[in-house]
Amino acid sequence: MASTSRTILICSGKGGVGKTTLTANLGIALARLGLRTVVLDADFGLRNLDLLLGLENRIVFTAQEVLAESCRLEQALVKHKQEPNLALLPAGNPRMLEWLKPEDMQTIAGMLEKQFDYVLIDCPAGIEDGFKNAVAAAKEAIVITTPEVSAVRDADRVIGLLNTHGVKPVQLVLNRVRPKMMASQEMLAVDDVTDILALPLLGLVLEDEQVIVSTNRGEPLTLNGSSSPAARAYGNVARRLQGDDVPLIDPSKEGRGLRAKVRRLMQKKIF
């Protein structure tokens, strides 16, 4: 086993809040730090981690053939061309959901832990069988939510289940933060969310249209050293996982308007 191997489930409860985007970008960010990282698509119903990473045309075998022992793990792993420290283990076809058991996910994770420093598991939405299978393999978890009441409520349910399964530590990433809406109290504030969920905050990712552009291109933001706010946030999550003390951004100072710019300049005493 890689001596420091960490298997982290990326989950949310609610769908569409940014699990797969975080898994892909965090995978690249960790790989760029020199850490051997594998991303495991546990969303067998709606797999799209391969698409986000631009690896969909390079898939030959999947976790399904590995489990059936009809190929070796090495044959199924898809190495990222630009980031050789990153590999993807693709999900098999959706019918896997009919027979996959929690022990199967443990078997796969056990194999990956022998070779990688980080095993990131992209969890399906919901708390049904797909979640139960994925959580069985997890040692730690990152819960991702947006600052919306429904997403926070679902995150709370998932946190309860993670506790029941003995997954520890569980940390929080707050995604799609809009500083302006927070400032005008149209959106839950960061403190509201952390108070409700009582989890340590591992990262804050701003709403960033570059995320959508990069998703459509199959080139995660973190890949090409983008300096966009979300790219920085994903990079910071990777460094915090590694134990670096990286300060969180303050959404009230991250606006893009003129006032925010003036405030930033004054803080840097550039005036």
Ligand X SMILES: Nc1ncnc2c1ncn2[C@@H]1O[C@H](COP(=O)(O)OP(=O)(O)OP(=O)(O)O)[C@@H](O)[C@H]1O
Q: Closest CB to ligand X among 46 and 68? A: 46
Q: What phi, psi does 46 have (nearest 5°)?
A: -130, 50
Q: Which of 19, 36, 47, 240 binds ligand X (CB under 6 A)?
A: 19
Stretch that binds ligand X, among 78-86, 97-105, 205-213, 261-269 (CB under 6 A): 205-213
Beta bridge partners of 200: none
- Name the residue number minimizing CB distance to Mg ion: 20
Q: x/- binding map, residues 10-29, to Mg ion, per CB under 5 A?
A: ---------xx---------
By beta-carbon proximity to Mg ion, the closer residue of 91 and 182 is 91
Write down the least CB distance from residue 4 to ligand X, Å.
26
C-alpha distance from residue 215 to each of 41, 176, 222 (Å): 16, 15, 11
136, 114, 100, 93: which is closest to 38 by C-alpha?
Answer: 114
In single-letter form, the type of residue at position 161 comes to: L
Site stretch for ligand X (CB under 6 A), options 12-20, 34-42, 82-90, 108-116:
12-20
**CB neighbour burial string for 234-262, b if at least 16 within 10 angstroms, e if fewer:** bbbbbebbbeeeeeebebeebbeeeebee
Residue 211 binds which entry of ligand X, Mg ion, none, CB below 5-8 Å type-dependent: ligand X
Residue with smaller CB distance to ligand X, 104 or 207: 207
Q: Is 212 an interacting residue with respect to ligand X (CB under 6 A)?
A: yes
CB of 19 to Mg ion, least distance (A): 5
Token look-up 């080139």 returns: 219
If binding is defined by CB under 5 A, does position 47 make contact with Mg ion? no
Residue selected from 47, 176, 232, 240 as contacting ligand X according to rule CB under 6 A: 176
CA dihedral over 119, 12, 206, 173, signed as positive or negative: negative
> How many residues at the interface with Mg ion, by CB under 5 A?
2
Alpha carbon distance 49, 205 (integer Å): 19
| Total of chain residues touching ligand X, rule CB under 6 A | 20
Residue 170, C-beta contacts closer than 8 angstroms, at least 6 positions apart:
140, 141, 142, 143, 159, 162, 163, 199
Which partner, ligand X, Mg ion, none, binds residue 85 by CB below 5 to 8 Å per kind?
A: none
Alpha helical stretches, state H, 143-257: 149-164, 179-183, 190-197, 209-217, 229-241
Among 15, 160, 200, 257, binds ligand X (CB under 6 A): 15
Which residues here bind Mg ion, judged by CB under 5 A?
Answer: 19-20
